[in-house]
Structure 1
C-alpha cells in the first residue's frame, strides 16, 4: 500500500512547535531521546517513526493515537480518516495503546500547569537540575525530561514529583494518585478498601465502593457519622442548569453604556468542565449561552415550573460578570442572585421541597483587586475602585432549608479567569468533585478543599489572592455518588 506522503505533509505543516514537542515526548518509549532531541521539523519526526517501525504504509495507528492524545481531532479526521469516537473505542482494547499511561499522565499534567506553577517547579528544582536547563523558555515537558535524565522521575519513581505537586497544586497530586490507583488490580483495590474501613485513616487512597452502601439507606454512608445524608439515588439525579455568558457585545453597545464589559474568554473551558463532571454524577445537563437578564429570568422560571418530583437534587451554575450580590446578563442589566435562588424555595417550587438546591456562581463581587496581565477579572469593570454596597451574603441565599450557594469570591473582591484555562474557582471545583465524589466525601468537605486550593493561587504582578465562600442551609450531608 502506497505511503500517504501528501497527507503526512499536510499534517506536518499544521503542527506547531509546542505540538511537535508533545508528540516527541509521547514517543519517548519508542524513539531514543538523543534522536528526538535533534528533531526540529515534524517531517523529520515522521521519518524517525518510520525508521523504528512505528509508522508504516497501511498502518498509521500510532500516529492516530498521537494526534488523539494532543487533541488534534481535526487532523485525525480530515487527513487520517478517523474520528474521536473510533479512537476511544480502539484505545479501550487491551494492548492497543502504544503511548504509556505514565507518559500520557505527565503530558496531561504539563497541559494543566499554569505559568506561575511552572515557575514554582523551576524554583523548587533549582538545586536538582542544571540551571542552564531552567531558563525562561523551558517548558514543563522539558522539566520532566530533565528529571528523567537525572533519575529523579520514572514510571516507578514518582515520589519527588508528588511532593512537588503537593507544594504547588494539590489537584496535580490527586491526578497522580488516581493514576496509581488505576494501575492496581481489583484484588489490591479490595484489600485497600478493607484497610480503609478498618482503620478509618486518610492514608488509604481508594475509590469509594457504592456496593458497600445500601441504596435506600442514606444515613449509612459513614458508620461513625451521626448526620443523615440526603437521598441521592434517582437516575438522573436532577438537572444541572448552566448559564454561560461569554459575549457582552450587547452591553458594550447599550446607550448609556452600563459597564465597559469585556467578553469572558475562557468561560467555555469552565462550561465544558462542568458538563463533564455533572454528567459523570448523573445529572441532566441544560446549558444556555449568552442570555440577557430577561432571558435568564425566563430560563430560570422554566426550571422553577418543571416537575422535579422524581429527582433528588437541582444544580445551577452561573458563569458571568457580576458585582456584590448581582450577576449581569449579556445586555449589562442586573439580576440579584437572591432572585434566582429564591425561585427554587419550597413555596415557589414545590417538587424540590426538602431536596438540596445547589448554586455555584462564578462572578466578581466587587473590585478590590487589580487585574493581572494574562488573567482577567469577572467584574466587567475597567476601574479599580472598591464598592461600598451593603453586605450581600445573608440576602443571597434563602433562609429556607436545603440550599447551598458556592460563591467564587468574598464580598467586595474580584475573581480571576484565565482566557486559556478557565477560572480558578470553577476549575478547582470540578477537579475536586471529580476526585472526591467517588470517595464518598460530602460537598462541604469538597468545598473546603476548593477554598484551600484557590487561596494558594496568586495573580501577578501584585500577588493578589482569591478566597471562595460557600453559604448553606443544608440540614444533612450532601454526597454525590458516582454509581
Structure 2
C-alpha cells in the first residue's frame, strides 16, 4: 500500500486516547507547545515526518509507537510486522527512540484506576495549580504538569514514588524495577566498554612499544601525537546540541523577581553562527529554541542517553539568561549547570567515557557590572544597543576527566549581547574556531584568544567589561582538524 495511504488508514483507526498516548511518547522529539495544538493523528504524522522520524523508507519509530500503545492490530494489519519482530528490533542498542522513562510513565497511566487517579490529584494539590486538577484531567496530563513544575523527571522520581506508595504499592514496584534495570544497564554498558577498551589499550600498547623502539622522526612524531591528542576522526565527530532561548514572556508573567527580564534579542545570530561553525567542524547539529527549564533538562538527558560509541566528542551550547551557577528556562525556572554537566560523567554516559565533553554557556552569572582598569591600548567602545544576559567556578563541572566548560563571564558578573549582532562571547568564540581550527590550533589556545579579545571590549553606557572563564579537566590537546 502507498505510504501516505498507510498513514491515513492508521490515523482513521486511532482513538482519541491513542492519539494522547502517541503525543506523550513523542515529547522528546516534538515541542509540547506544538503537540498541544495537534488534534488529529494525521497532524501528528505530518509533524513526525517534518522531524524525519518517519518516512517511506523508515517506519521504525511508528512501529515503536504502536507497539508501546499495544495497537498490535495496526502493526500486523497495516505495517505487516509482528509484535515479536518489533520487540527484537528494539532490543538492539540505540534503536529505541522513545525514552524508557516516557514508556514507564505511559505504563503507569495505563494501570491507574479512576479512584487512584482521584487520590493522585488529592495528594498533589499542594504541588500543582488547582486549576489544573480538574475532574477531566487524565493521568498523562498530570504527569505533563508535574514535568512542567519540575517535580518529575528521568532523574527526579521521588515525588512520583511518594504518591504511588500511598496510592498503590504495585505502581511503586514498577518504578523501582525501572530504576534497577536502568542501573543494571549502565553497569553492563560500563563493563562492555571496559572490555572493548582493554582490547584497544592492548593494541595501543603494542603500537607504542614499536614506536618507542624506532628512531625515525615520523615514529617520534606519531608517538607524541598518540600520547597527547584526543582522537577526532569519526564522521560525524559528534552531536552539537544548541539550546537557544529568546522569548521570556512567560517568565515575566509567572515569576515576580523576573518581571523586568528582557527577551534575548540578537541570540539568533549566535545560534546561526554556532550552527555554521560546528557544521564545518563535522558535527551533527541539534538546535532547539525557547525551552523551559524542565525542557532544557529533558533535551540534555535525551542526548545523554543516545549511543555515542561511534562518535569522538559531544558539544552542548546553551544561550539564555542566568545567575550564579544556574540558567533560566523561558518559564523563569532554574536549571543547574552542575547537574547538566554531571549527566555526562563516565557512569551516567558510558559511551562518552574518555571522550571530550564541551559545554559553552552564554548567560550572566550574576548582576554585577565588571569595571575595567584603564589601559589606553585596550580601549574599544562598542555600540550602545547592548544588553546583559543576567565564568562559573570549577564546581560547575564534574570532578572527572575530559570536560570543558566555557563560560561567557566569571561568577557574579553580567555578560553582554548586541540586540542585532549577537553576544560578545559566542561571536568571538565562533570567529576564532572558524579561523584557528584549519591551522591546527587546540581548543585551549583558541579560548585564550577569545578571552583576550572579549576582555578588550567596553560597554559604552556603564563602561562595563567582560572576562570569559574556561574551566576544564581535559587530559590531552583537543584539536578539530578540517579534513
Q: TM-score, normalised by structure 2?
A: 0.51
Once the two structures are TM-superposed, the CA of residue 367 in structure 1 deviates from its matched residue by 1.1
Q: What is the Cα deviation at residue 443 of structure 1?
A: 0.1
* Partners of 1:293 and 1:329 within 8 A in 2: yes
Quickly say closer, same or farther: Cα 1:449–1:394, change in 2 above 3 A: same
- Closer/same/farther in 2, CA of residues 400 and 281 from structure 1, 3 Å limit: same
Question: For residues 256 and 266 of structure 1, what CA distance do their matches in structure 2 show?
Answer: 25
State the shift of 1:462 in Å.
Answer: 3.3
**1:8-49 CA distance string (max 9 Å, x none):** xxxxxxxxxxxxxxxxxxxxxxxxxxxxxxxxxxxxxxxxxx
Flag the 1:232–1:320 CA change in 2: closer, same or farther, 3 A: same
Partner of 1:395: 395
CA distance in structure 1 between the partners assigned to 2:466 and 2:222 by the alignment: 33
Q: What pairs with 1:2-401 in structure 2 (closer than 5 Å)?
A: 228-254=228-254, 256-369=256-369, 373-379=384-390, 393-401=393-401
Contact 2:365 2:392 in 1 (8 A): no
Is residue 2:428 matched to residue 1:428?
Answer: yes
1:428-475 Cα shifts (integer Å, max 9, x gaps): 000000000000000000000000000011000332110001000000
**Match of 1:469?**
469
The DSSP-based 3-state class of the residue aligned with 1:314 is: strand
Distance 2:454 2:225 in 1: 28
Relative distance call for 1:237 and 1:258 in structure 2 (3 A) is same
Distance 1:220 1:243, change over 3 A: farther
Q: CA deviation at 1:310?
A: 0.1
CA offsets 1:375-422 (integer angstroms, 9 cap, x no match): 10001xxxxxxxxxxx95121010010000000001111000001110
Distance change in 2, residues 1:256/1:465 (3 Å): closer
Paired residues in the alignment total: 255
Deviations 1:98-134 (A, max 9, x none): xxxxxxxxxxxxxxxxxxxxxxxxxxxxxxxxxxxxx
**1:427: how far off?**
0.2
Deviation at 1:374, TM superposition (A): 1.2
Q: How big is the shift at 1:334? A: 0.6
How large is the RMSD of aligned CA atoms in angstroms?
2.3
Task: Please tell me whether the aligned partners of residues 293 and 330 of structure 2 are also in contact (alpha carbons under 8 angstroms).
Answer: yes
Provide the C-alpha distance between the structure 2 equivalents of 1:221 and 1:360, rounded to a whole number of angstroms. 32
Rounded Cα–Cα distance in structure 2 between residues aligned with 1:264 and 1:328:
12
User: Can you list the C-alpha shifts for 1:50-70, whole angstroms capped at 9, x where unaligned?
Assistant: xxxxxxxxxxxxxxxxxxxxx
Aligned-residue offset at 1:227: 5.5
CA pair 476-259 structure 1, distance change in 2 beyond 3 A: farther
- Provide closer, same or farther for how the CA distance between residues 221 and 246 of structure 1 changes in structure 2, counting only shifts above 3 A: farther
Q: 1:305 to 1:422 in 2, by over 3 A?
A: same
CA distance in 2, matches of 1:221, 1:482: 20
1:255/1:278 CA distance change after superposition, 3 Å: closer
Q: Is the 8 A contact 1:219 1:228 kept in 2?
A: no
Aligned counterparts of 1:305 and 1:405: Cα–Cα separation in 2 = 20
Structure 1 distance, partners of 2:480, 2:466, is: 26
Question: Aligned partners of 1:435 and 1:222: how far apart in 2?
Answer: 25
Residues of 1 paired with 2:269 and 2:407: CA distance?
A: 18
Deviations 1:315-368 (A, max 9, x none): 000000001111000000011100110011111001000000000000001111
Paired position in structure 2 for 1:75? none
CA contact (8 A) 1:362 1:408 kept: yes
Report the alpha carbon displacement of residue 256 of structure 1 after superposing the two structures with TM. Answer: 3.9
Q: Is the 8 A contact 2:425 2:454 kept in 1?
A: yes
Q: CA–CA distance in 2 between the matches of 1:318 and 1:219?
A: 41
Q: Equivalent residue for 2:408?
A: 408
Aligned equivalents of 2:363 and 2:400: distance in 1? 24
Give the Cα separation in 1 of the matches to 2:413 and 2:221: 37
3-state DSSP class of the match of 2:228?
Answer: coil
Is 1:440 the counterpart of 2:446 in the alignment? no
Q: Distance in 1 between matches of 2:259 and 2:384?
A: 21
Unpaired runs of 5+ in structure 2?
1-217, 372-382
CA distance in 2, matches of 1:325, 1:479: 28
* Cα distance in 2 between the residues matched to 1:240 and 1:259: 32
